Every structure is written in structure tokens, then in C-alpha cells.
A and B are shown apart, each in its own frame.
Chain A
Amino acid sequence: MSELLKVEGLSTVFPGTPRDVPVVDDLSFTIDEGEVLALVGESGCGKSMTALSVMRLVPKPGRIDRGTIVMNGRDVRGLSIPEIRKLRGHEISMIFQEPMTSLNPVVTVGKQVVEAIQLHEAVDFGAARKRTIELFERVGIPDAAPRFDVYPHQLSGGLKQRVMIAMALSTRPKLLIADEPTTALDVTIQAQILELLRDLQRDTGMSILLITHDLGVVNELSDRVSVMYAGRVVEHAEREELFGRPVHPYSIGLLRSNPALSRPGEPLPEIPGVVPPPDEWPEGCRFANRCDRVLEVCGDEIPGATVQGPHKFVCCHAIAREGADD
């Protein structure tokens, strides 16, 4: 499989005093064609900012400070504004957490999909409309044709997310970024949307960058997983590998504290403390103050990656030492 998206050393910062505050710090990952990569982490760890950085949609006054983003052989950071617009919605599409507010309330849902098609392809309204209705059928919207002319507020949250997916797929993108696609939905609807995403991915062969805090969603959909903590990747592994044999203390804690994966009757273990806000991220390993395997060096030095296989690495001083002792 060939590489579709390669992100290396990405840092996204927000201006602050006395210095800029990084929300994504020296982050690297790759997505191959037809692959689903999940970025997992608690809220505030920089997952969404990573996604927006790939699209070059970081909200002002934030900006990408360092790093390269190569999509399909082209350097995204070097593209001109018209070029990046051609990329957005065409090669990379995105769906968001809040289907309630992500659609324009005063434009019919059909026209919003048509807009996405017509921005990138020279087709007339009739053809675009036909394709939109087909897409609506494809994403499982019942009564697709009459639903073309309704306004977002007339649809349920699940249907709105289906419209968002139809819009994202309308230009047959190579990469779909799904930012918490099911978080705002009811549990039963969540399962339907996940199933739809899995089917669509299998049928179209597109890649997905899945951003979520929900390990259940990761388990459903992804091939490989990157666990993020405070702006950095702490562990990267294939899905079975991560769920079966997590290595980083944070990944272990995250998996253990998931109610779906715990044993009934036992108290649910938790990671003490919370993710600190970006301007209070500690020097050295950022997980040090919550870690149960903390060493002296953790307070001073950012841990490098310890490679444990072709698709597996972990960033932890304690693990690195273990490896060195062996």
C-alpha cells in the first residue's frame, strides 16, 4: 500500500505571553491508502487541532509553526490559497462532531451538498441534484428525493450527520477526516453511523483519519491507532496490538478506565488528575505528573520513540529503560 498522507514534526501554536503556546507539538503520523488511522485521547489533547492543521483550517490567531504535511505527494503547507481550496472538500473531506450546528440553517440540505459538488466539478444543477439524491440514498436517508428540499432543523441529529457524510463523500475524496463523528449522537444512532462509515470505507477504498476519545469507536473502525496526550503521540500500534497489549502507562490507564472493557463487579480504575491546559504543560514527559511509573528523568527530558515493531512505537522513559536492560 502506498502512503497517502504523511505528517512529520507538526507543531501548531496559539500566540500567548510570554511565548507561543503549542497545542500540537512535534507530531508525526502516516496514513496509507485505504487505511483507517485513529487518533485517540482525552479532550484538549490536540486531536481536533491536528485534523484542522491537515486541512489548513486552524482558527485565527493560531497557526502551524513547524512540520511538513504531504498529501498525495504534494506539500500542503506550500500550497497557494486557491490550491488548498481545491484540496479541501475534493481530496480531503471532513465531518464534524456537531451535526446540529455544522449545517447552514437557512439553506436547504440538498443545496448544501450541491454546493460542495459544484465547487469542485463543472456539473449543472440538475446533475448535481441527481447525484445528491443518490448520495442521500447511499448514506441511508429514507425518502431521499423529498429530503433534498428540507432545512437542517427539520432533520434529526442522526440524519444531519448522514447529510454531512453525503456532503463529504460527494466529491469522492481520497481521505475523510472524521472528527468525533458520533459523540453528539444517541448510542443507537452512533452504531448506525459507524456501520455506515465502515461500509463506505470498504466500498470506496478511501482512507479515514478518525478522531475520537471513544475507545469503542476506535475498536469498531480503525486499523491502526495513535494515542495522543497533551499535544504529542505517546504510543502508536495496530489496533489488536494496542487493545491486547498496551505499553505506555497512559494507554494502559485509558484502556483500563473504559467501562466497556472492564470486568463487571470490579471498581473501575481511573487515571488520577486531568489533562493540564496547553499553557501549563510540564517540561519533559507531559504525563509525568499523572504517571504511576514516573522516573526522575521524566521531569526533564521529553521521551523519544522506542520502536517495538514495524508498526509500533512508544514514547516513555520507563519503557526505554526496560528495553535497554534486556
Chain B
Amino acid sequence: MEAWVISNIVTSLLLVSSVLVVLAVRRSRMWSEAMGSLWKRRPIAIGVVAFYLAIGILDSIYWVGGINAGEDVVSAHEAKSVIDRLFADSRERSYSAPLADVEFYGSAPLENPGWHLMGTDLIGRDVVYLAMKGVRVALLIGGLTSLIAIPLSLLFGISAGYFGGRVDDVVFFVMSTLASMPTLLLLIALIMAMGRSTVSICIALAVTSWVGFCRLVRGETLKLREQDYVQAARALGVSELQIILRHILPNLAHLVIITFVLTFSGLVLSEAVLAWLGVGVDGSWGQMIDQARSELSRDPVVWWNIAAAGLSLFGLLLAVNMVGDAIRDILDPRTLRESP
């Protein structure tokens, strides 16, 4: 199956499941109240995140055909996303400054004068288009990694915390082993060994990030296991699986969400460093920053490439961090403990 078909399927699955999540949230009083107060606290940040998500989704739905007449045969048969189609005719020959009418070097007239909000790059691609393509990559890195890391850490963290004994020893040993290697070096080593592809980068990021989360889940499970209601359920003869599903897992939900949001920015930042080391994902903002680095020493300076990539990255991470902070304040009872 071609990559774009998979992308379509995954996107639709994610959309369907997010609708289901929204419905579930509205049924639960606690969660809908939490979401309500989140919206009240951080309307702008949530709006920004939604904007990024919308771009990411628009860039994840592909289909073939419907390309304008001017296109050559090869690209007419290539699958393109909504974002690709918006910028289909935007190609210039080389650098142009933001909103310029002529090329940056040589003053030749542009195909689309005054149209490029953030100018064009060395080979004439629109910079806003490149920055928008980076959104999907960033969301993919954060999302796919979490999709691998969170279930793993829940599985291992809960079994270690709940069953203790040998299981705990093994999980704890694996965690200490992974945690003792320098994160960035481990990341690079894994990516170099597995070969460089989006999936292997996400796997590598998952390997390095699940440990912290697993430790958190394990600790919380240890605490929950000793709670009276869990003891009571056990005394009543409820099966272990039932106890985990009904009493442990729902009480970890807030932790999952907080950790997911707060690690997201770390993952995107790590990818930027990886991109600079030459082992990142193609089309990421990190790669854009790395490629645009030398442009700052040109004279006159070509600044819009790095500015666009840097601002896109900063905007997403700032919004996500703000939302994450607010979510933690709302959901984590430890910060609510105000009595002296």
C-alpha cells in the first residue's frame, strides 16, 4: 500500500476516535468540567493548538488528480494534500524576500509577485508552504511516539507496580539500564542502528521517553494498590484484571494526559537537534533551521527561512506548554493542595 493511503486511513481513524473521546468526555461530569475550566483559562493557547491541528489534518489527506493544466505528467499522478494544492502554482526560481515582487538576487520578476508572505527559499519554494508542511511532521513525531510509548509504559508500569515481586524487579532493571545511558547518544545510536526513517525515529524517541513515564505510572500504581477501595475490591474477590481496569487505569488517566502534553514539546525539541545532526525526519522544522543556518552569513542576510521555521516551532511548543501547564493545574490534585 502506498504511504499516502496509509496516511488517509490513519487520519480518518484518528478523527473518528477523537469524536468518540469528545462524546465520552461530555458524558463524564468530572472530565467535562475539567475541559470547561481549561477552555476558560487558556482560550488563546487552545485556539493556536487547534489551528496547528487543522493544518496538520489538511496536510494528511491525500488524493490523486485534479491538478491544474500547467503541471507536468509525473506530478499529476502524485497524491497531494490540501496544503499541497493550495500552493501548487507557487514555485519561483530562487530566493525572494517576503511579499517581494522581484527575486532577491538579480531582480528578475516573480511568477507570483507580492504573494509570498514569508518569501521563497534557495530553490524558489514558498516558505509559508514549507513551514506548514512542518506542522504535520511535528505532530507526527509527538503523536506517533506517544502512541508507542504510552501503552508500553502503562503495561509495564502497572504490572510492575501492581504485581511487584519478580515482574517489578525485571521492569525496574530494564528502566535503570535504559535511564543510565545519555539520552541523546542513545537516541542517535538507535536511529543509526535501525536506519533513518520516520518510524524508526519515533521508535527511538519512544524507547528513550517511556522510561520516565513508566516510572511515574509504577509509583502511582504502587500508591493506588494500597488504597482502601482497591483492598476492598480484592477482599470482595474481584479479579486482578477487573481491579486494574476499573480502579487503577481510570485513576492514571489524568497522569497520562499531563505527561502526554508535557513530553510532546520535549519530543519536538529533540527532533530538532536530531535533524541538525542529520538523523531527523525529512521536512521538519529542525531540518529547515539547519538548512537555513548558513543563510544568516549571506550578505544581505536571508532571514525569513529560519524565522518562519523558528516561529512555527516556538508557536506550537508555547501553546502546547501553556495548555499542558493549565491541564496539570486542573487535573493534578497535588497542586490544588493549598492548606498549609
Contacts and interface: CB of A to CB of B under 8 A. Distances in A.
A59 B336 CA distance: 12
A52 interface: yes
Contacts of A191: none
Interface in A128-170: none
A62 B339 CA distance: 9
Interface in A46-82: 52, 57, 59-62
Contacts of A61: 338
B340 A57 contact: yes
Nearest to A57: B340
B33 to A, nearest CB: 13
8 contacts: A52-B340, A57-B340, A59-B338, A59-B339, A59-B340, A60-B338, A61-B338, A62-B338
A61 B340 CA distance: 11
Given A52-B340, A59-B340, A61-B338, 5 more contacts: A57-B340, A59-B338, A59-B339, A60-B338, A62-B338
A60 B338 CA distance: 7
Contacts of B340: 52, 57, 59
Interface size class of A (residues with CB under 8 A): under 10
Interface of A is mostly: loop
A118 to B, nearest CB: 23
A130 B338 CA distance: 37
Contacts of B338: 59-62
Contacts of A60: 338
Contacts of A52: 340
The 7 A-B residue pairs whose C-beta atoms are closest, nearest first, are A59-B340, A59-B339, A59-B338, A57-B340, A60-B338, A61-B338, A52-B340
A59 B339 CA distance: 6
Nearest to B37: A17
A117 B338 CA distance: 29
Contacts, number: 8
Interface in B288-340: 338-340
Contacts of A57: 340
Contacts of A59: 338-340
Contacts of B339: 59
A61 B338 CA distance: 8
A59 B340 CA distance: 6
B34 to A, nearest CB: 15
A61 B339 CA distance: 10
Interface in B89-118: none
Interface in A164-180: none
A52 B339 CA distance: 11
Nearest to B340: A59
A61 to B, nearest CB: 7
B269 to A, nearest CB: 34
Nearest to A61: B338
B214 to A, nearest CB: 29
Interface string B38-54: 00000000000000000
Nearest to B339: A59
Nearest to A59: B340
A240 B338 CA distance: 38
A21 to B, nearest CB: 13
Nearest to A48: B339
A151 to B, nearest CB: 22
A291 B164 CA distance: 50
A60 B340 CA distance: 9
A48 to B, nearest CB: 8
A60 B339 CA distance: 8
B339 to A, nearest CB: 6
Nearest to A60: B338
Nearest to A49: B339
A59 to B, nearest CB: 4
Interface in A268-315: none
Nearest to B337: A59
Interface string A15-53: 000000000000000000000000000000000000010
A41 to B, nearest CB: 17
Nearest to A62: B338
Interface string B115-127: 0000000000000
A294 B338 CA distance: 36
A57 B339 CA distance: 10
A57 B340 CA distance: 9
A85 to B, nearest CB: 16
A60 B337 CA distance: 11
B330 to A, nearest CB: 14
Nearest to A58: B340
B129 to A, nearest CB: 44
B237 to A, nearest CB: 30
A99 B39 CA distance: 41
Nearest to B338: A59
A62 B340 CA distance: 11
B265 to A, nearest CB: 29
A59 B338 CA distance: 7
A95 to B, nearest CB: 15
B340 to A, nearest CB: 4
B23 to A, nearest CB: 27
A301 to B, nearest CB: 32
A300 to B, nearest CB: 30
A15 to B, nearest CB: 11
A60 to B, nearest CB: 7
B67 to A, nearest CB: 54
A113 B340 CA distance: 20
Nearest to A14: B338
A52 B338 CA distance: 14
